[in-house]
């Protein structure tokens, strides 16, 4: 499983890449692999306020639907509208072209509740991956 070194991770397999006070959010390689081919993404509303670990996106694969939780609280600044027509970008490139939303981070201290790449790698190993 591919893991990006400088991203932070949740136990639900979302990632956040923080630059200044803006966090780009997506799902991990483990998550996209477990879901299989993604066929639909319900994006959040721009300007929507989300709480840390609150469900803010749903994705559907051919055979199932799943909730995606926001790694940190904040305001949704931008969403990846390309996913509306090409949800499979998440399968092909989950850490870059398959990003889901950008969040204006409300409280940088919440990062303490997230896992580093190393922690996430250990976490996946504990799941038997």
Partner 1 sequence: MSTEVALHNTPLVEEHIALGAKMVGFGGWNMPLQYEGILAEWEHNRKTCSIFDCSHMGEFMVQGDAIQSGLDGIVTQRIADMPVKTCRYGTMLNEEGGVIDDLIIYRKAPQEWMMVVNAAHREKNAKNFKNHLTSPANFKDISFETAKLDLQGPLSRDILKTLVPDIAQLEYYTFDEFVLLGQKCLISRTGYTGELGYEIYYPWEKSKELWRRILKNDKVNPTGLGVRDVLRIEMCYSLYGHELSEEISPLQAGLDKFIDFEKDFIGKQALLKQKAQGHHHRMGYFISDSRRSPRAGHRILDLSGNPVGRVTSGTFSPALQRGIGLGFIEAGKNNIGSKISFGDEKTIVSAVISQRPFYKNGSLKH
Q: Which is nearer to partner 1, 40 or 96 (CB)?
A: 40
Q: Pick the stretch among 6-14, 32-40, 70-78, 96-104 that binds partner 1 (CB under 8 A).
A: 32-40
Per CB under 8 A, 40 contacts partner 1: yes
- In terms of Cβ atoms closer than 10 Å to its own Cβ (0-12, 13-18, 19+), residue 39 is middle
Cβ atoms of 92 and 102 closer than 8 Å: no
Q: Which is nearer to partner 1, 37 or 107 (CB)?
A: 37
Q: Which is nearer to partner 1, 17 or 61 (CB)?
A: 61
Binding site for partner 1 (CB under 8 A): 36-37, 39-40, 42, 58, 60-65, 87-88, 91
């Amino acid at each position: 499983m591919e893991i990006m070194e400088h991203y932070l991770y949740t136990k639900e397999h979302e990632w956040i890449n923080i630059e200044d006070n803006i966090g780009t959010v997506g799902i991990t390689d483990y998550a996209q692999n477990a879901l299989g081919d993604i066929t639909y993404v319900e994006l959040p509303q721009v300007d929507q306020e989300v709480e840390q670990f609150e469900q803010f996106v749903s994705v559907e694969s051919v055979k199932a639907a799943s909730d995606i939780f926001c790694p940190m609280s904040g305001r949704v600044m931008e969403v990846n509208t390309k996913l509306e027509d090409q949800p499979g970008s998440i399968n092909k490139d989950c850490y870059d072209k398959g990003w889901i939303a950008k969040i204006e981070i409300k409280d940088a201290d919440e990062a303490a509740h997230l896992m580093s790449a190393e922690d996430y790698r250990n976490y996946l190993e504990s799941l038997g991956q």
